[in-house]
Amino acid sequence: MSALLDTDGEALLGALRGLLAAKGLATPAEVAERLALTERASPAQGARIVAKAWTDPEFRARLLADGTATVEALGIPMRGAPPLGVLENTAALHHLVVCTLCSCYPRAVLGYPPFWFKSAGYRARAVRDPRGLIAEWGTVLPAGTAIRVVDSTADYRWMVLPLRPAGTDGWTEAALAALVREGDMVGVTVPVAP
């Protein structure tokens, strides 16, 4: 194993790609397509989904009922990705997503997880002291709002649909999407209108 770890990464990747092609498991074109899909996924896609849910009640209902099919209909490729669940924040309930076992993250809609999401500190504290944890982002929930921590332990991936901030009546979808940050869809922060 240590010999493997010392090997040049590019050489290793080249050997792996060669084997995938030689064994007929994945063509170079398929590998390139998957790389491109992975690179394209970013929090901007999640923000677009959130903004649409804020402005289109029918879309919102479908999104909450079946995240995978609903975002796929928006043109976000979900083939081969784990099913997507969407957690709706309300005035009474705020969601916070964590993966205590590793770093499961809804990559198809949010891209690569932020570094802190994978840290042992975040994973341990999210389930033990969620309010203290999000306070470090400056997030303090209003009195009367409960917090629900969602631990991604198995086959689903979860994203949060945050509350639409006050003072955004009449905003366009694009303007709303620009308000939504990565942390809002994990639940460590909440979107605010400037």
Partner 1 sequence: MTELAPGTRVRVRDDWPEARGPCHIRTPHYVRGRQGVVVRRLGAFPNPEDLAFARPAPRRALYHVRFDETALWPDGRAGDDLLVELFEHWLVPA
119 lines the binding site for partner 1 (CB under 8 A)? no
Residue from 63, 59, 100 nearest 84 by CA: 63
Select from 11-19, 32-40, 51-59, 125-133 the region that touches partner 1 (CB under 8 A): 125-133
| Alpha helices in 23-165, H assignment, sequence order | 28-40, 43-55, 57-65, 67-72, 107-110, 120-128, 130-135
Out of 18, 131, 136, 175, the only residue in the binding site for partner 1 (CB under 8 A) is 131
147 lines the binding site for partner 1 (CB under 8 A)? yes
Select from 2-10, 58-66, 108-116, 153-161 the region that touches partner 1 (CB under 8 A): 153-161
Surface-to-core class of residue 85, CB atoms within 10 Å of its CB (0-12 exposed, 13-18 middle, 19+ buried): middle
Out of 72, 88, 151, 173, the only residue in the binding site for partner 1 (CB under 8 A) is 151
Out of 73, 101, 192, 193, the only residue in the binding site for partner 1 (CB under 8 A) is 101
- The answer for residues whose C-beta is within 8 angstroms of residue 10's C-beta and 6 or more apart is none
127 lines the binding site for partner 1 (CB under 8 A)? yes
78 lines the binding site for partner 1 (CB under 8 A)? no
102 is catalytic: yes
Q: How far is CA 104 from CA 13, 84, 114, 158, in A?
A: 23, 12, 12, 9
Closest approach of partner 1 to the CB of residue 175, in Å: 32
149 lines the binding site for partner 1 (CB under 8 A)? yes
Q: Is 172 helix (H, G, I), strand (E, B) or coil?
A: coil
Q: Distance (Å, rounded) from C-alpha 159 to C-alpha 184?
A: 9
148 lines the binding site for partner 1 (CB under 8 A)? yes
Out of 20, 62, 72, 83, the only residue in the binding site for partner 1 (CB under 8 A) is 83
Q: Is 95 helix (H, G, I), strand (E, B) or coil?
A: strand
103 is catalytic: yes
Catalytic residues: 99, 102-104
Q: Which residues bind partner 1 (CB under 8 A)?
A: 83, 85, 100-101, 127-128, 130-131, 146-156
